[in-house]
């Protein structure tokens, strides 16, 4: 895998990134370390975490993922020099009162403190890519469809947040900065203000992108292309819907897969990935994959791996076997006819997991 430059930063990463939000909840520390070992052995140089992980988020597991990664790095001399390590500061509380006492804001002081705490858990001196997990301002995200200006409230400005991130870069604690769950407006503002005030430019935006959520292609892709910001695509398998494992059983009931995210956690079923429409659309894509001699996983990952919009695809796994399956899908090519069939389903089903 040829490495990709993230935005205008000096970060060079593989086009596949190991997402780690399962570490500490679905995945114990020993298995997590085995996954990290195997990922590095197979050439993946990019890890993504967040202070709020693991997921589903609980007070008891806040910071667990970073701690597991930090312990692994401490046990593997030389691994740090081969890796680009990314993590995220959580935005305002979304039903998580254990994060900054449920603050409705993300202040510059919050950003600095969260970064210091992440550095300690990761046992690092520098975070390569530090991202704002979701905006402080009012935006439609995580399944919300419409922007409602009536929900606006006073929060720290983008300029203030950029200045805090700039201070971390200047202090050598962060190499590059990024965003997550952002809108075209947000990306434009972060870039405009950086250029206006001589502050660091965001290198990346990490947003959902998969067969059942292609909202990136509704304008954000043009924004990022023209402003030179790279897309990190998360949930390429639609929280497992696009693996086919729920096709026969659905997401609930005695025959649903045990220990999987949607079937195992009611909190996940209440989110966009648990919508009946999302499973209905996923079944159509999964059937299309089989018709063309592919597994559903191969189709879903190849769709992301080959998209011009995507710099790096974030894969989340719970075992070494899943990791190998996802990495082995690299190189799968989709014919023009198959891509046209994918677009036909999207035209009909649209983006049920937006």
CB atoms within 10 A of CB 247: 15
Which class for 349: exposed (0-12), middle (13-18), buried (19 or more C-beta within 10 A)?
middle
Residues sharing a CB contact under 8 Å with residue 293, sequence separation 6 or more, in sequence order: none
Q: Which of 53, 246, 285, 305 is catalytic?
A: 53
53 assigned to active site: yes
Nearest one of 215, 217, 276 to 241, comparing CA atoms: 276
Contact (CB, 8 A) for 69 and 27 = no
What's phi and psi for 253, nearest 5 deg? 100, 170
d(CA 326, CA 313): 11
Cα separation of 192 and 187, whole Å? 8
Whole-angstrom distance, CA of residue 86 vs CA of residue 72: 15
Strands 16-19 and 12-13: unpaired
Instruction: Say how far apart CA 225 and CA 107 lie, in whole Å.
Output: 29
CA distance 352 to 272: 8
Nearest to 245 by CA among 235, 231, 255: 255
Beta bridge partners of residue 89, listed in sequence order:
132
H/E run at residue 329: none
Positions annotated as catalytic residues are: 53
């Amino acid at each position: 895998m040829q490495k990709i430059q993230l935005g205008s930063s000096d970060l060079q990463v593989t086009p596949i990134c190991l997402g780690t939000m399962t570490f500490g909840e679905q995945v114990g520390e020993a298995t997590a370390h085995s996954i990290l070992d195997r990922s590095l052995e197979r050439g993946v140089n990019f890890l993504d975490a967040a202070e709020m992980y693991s997921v589903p988020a609980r007070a008891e597991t806040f910071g667990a993922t970073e701690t597991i990664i930090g312990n692994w790095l401490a046990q593997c001399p030389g691994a740090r020099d081969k890796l680009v390590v990314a993590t995220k500061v959580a935005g305002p509380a979304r039903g998580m009162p254990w994060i900054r006492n449920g603050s409705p804001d993300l202040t510059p002081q919050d950003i600095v403190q969260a970064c210091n705490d992440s550095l300690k858990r990761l046992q690092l001196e520098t975070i390569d890519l530090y991202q704002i997990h979701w905006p402080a301002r009012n935006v439609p995200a995580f399944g919300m469809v419409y922007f409602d200006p009536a929900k606006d409230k006073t929060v720290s400005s983008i300029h203030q947040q950029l200045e805090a991130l700039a201070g971390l870069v200047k202090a050598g604690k962060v190499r590059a900065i990024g965003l997550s769950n952002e809108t075209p407006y947000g990306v434009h503002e972060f870039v405009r203000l950086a250029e206006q005030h001589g502050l660091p430019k965001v290198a990346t935006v990490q947003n959902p992108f998969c067969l059942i959520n292609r909202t990136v292609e509704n304008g954000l892709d043009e924004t990022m292309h023209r402003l030179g910001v790279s897309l990190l695509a998360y949930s390429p398998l639609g929280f497992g819907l696009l693996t086919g494992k729920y096709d026969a059983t659905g997401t609930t009931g005695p025959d649903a897969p045990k220990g999987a995210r949607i079937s195992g956690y009611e909190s996940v079923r209440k989110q966009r990935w648990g919508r009946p429409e999302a499973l209905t659309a996923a079944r159509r894509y999964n059937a299309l994959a089989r018709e063309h001699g592919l597994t559903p996983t191969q189709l879903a990952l190849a769709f992301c791996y080959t998209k011009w919009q995507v710099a790096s695809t974030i894969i989340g796994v719970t075992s070494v076997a899943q990791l190998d399956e996802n990495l082995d899908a690299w190189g799968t090519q989709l014919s023009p006819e198959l891509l046209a069939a994918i677009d036909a389903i999207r035209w009909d089903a649209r983006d049920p997991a937006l």
